[in-house]
A and B are shown apart, each in its own frame.
Chain A
Amino acid sequence: GAGVSQSPSNKVTEKGKDVELRCDPISGHTALYWYRQSLGQGLEFLIYFQGNSAPDKSGLPSDRFSAERTGGSVSTLTIQRTQQEDSAVYLCASSSPYGYEQYFGPGTRLTVT
């Protein structure tokens, strides 16, 4: 079956612009996660959606970052007024309620110039 998909695969934006990154989880997976991978910080948790519960936003680095998940499926991560330190690979993962692992998408490489 199809895995987690993310779009775009690459995004170059100018400092100060807003960007939206999209994640399509595996069908039937109720949990969805966003992580960020950068050279300086390694892999960091950003936000987590579980079913209809309120999301765990504890990893968002600033109020410029937000995410939503519509219809319990697709998720969009939005970064407003991008800064150069936002340059990273943004990874999405999903998991089923019956499994133990998270399945990762290929990521979106964001470059802020």
Chain B
Amino acid sequence: AQSVTQLDSHVSVSEGTPVLLRCNYSSSYSPSLFWYVQHPNKGLQLLLKYTSAATLVKGINGFEAEFKKSETSFHLTKPSAHMSDAAEYFCVVSEGRGSTLGRLYFGRGTQLTVWP
């Protein structure tokens, strides 16, 4: 069975400081992992994905995430937060890939607030 736990429902940082959003997953198979972002009243946008290639994954807007199988973690980081990063972030897991990607399992989300 698949599941995702986002360890913080809210994270607040000052502009220019690092961002860390934590995610742990549970999967019976070698998973595909994603981070999606949702800005207020906007749709879900893919930030980055891990699909069994390099364990350090770089995404859009300076975000990156590291897949750690031993810790079953996929934490999202950014060296320097920007005001425009304020949004809700979802960690997502799927068992499949490509044509068998299948359904996604979402974490409950982390609301990121960025203070000026």
Contacts and interface: CB of A to CB of B under 8 A. Distances in A.
B107 to A, nearest CB: 8
Contacts of A106: 42-43
B49 A100 contact: yes
Contact of A43 (B43, B102, B106): B106
A56 B103 contact: yes
A70 B23 CA distance: 37
B44 interface: yes
Interface stretch (B63-71, B79-87, B93-101): B93-101
B43 A105 contact: yes
Contacts of A59: 103
Interface in B33-58: 34, 36, 42-46, 49, 51
Nearest to B51: A100
Contacts of A99: 98
B99 A100 contact: no
B89 interface: no
Contacts of B45: 104
Interface of A is mostly: strand
B43 A102 contact: no
A99 B49 CA distance: 11
A48 B100 CA distance: 11
B13 interface: no
Nearest to A92: B43
A75 B37 CA distance: 25
B99 A43 contact: no
A91 interface: yes
B99 A97 contact: yes
Interface string A86-113: 0000010101011111111111000000
Interface of A: 30-31, 33, 35, 42-45, 48, 50, 56, 59, 91, 93, 95, 97-107
Give the 3 A-B residue pairs with the shortest CB-CB distance, closest first.
A43-B106, A97-B99, A104-B44
Given A42-B107, A48-B103, A56-B102, 14 more contacts: A30-B99, A31-B99, A35-B104, A35-B106, A43-B90, A43-B109, A45-B105, A91-B43, A98-B98, A99-B98, A100-B49, A103-B46, A104-B45, A107-B43
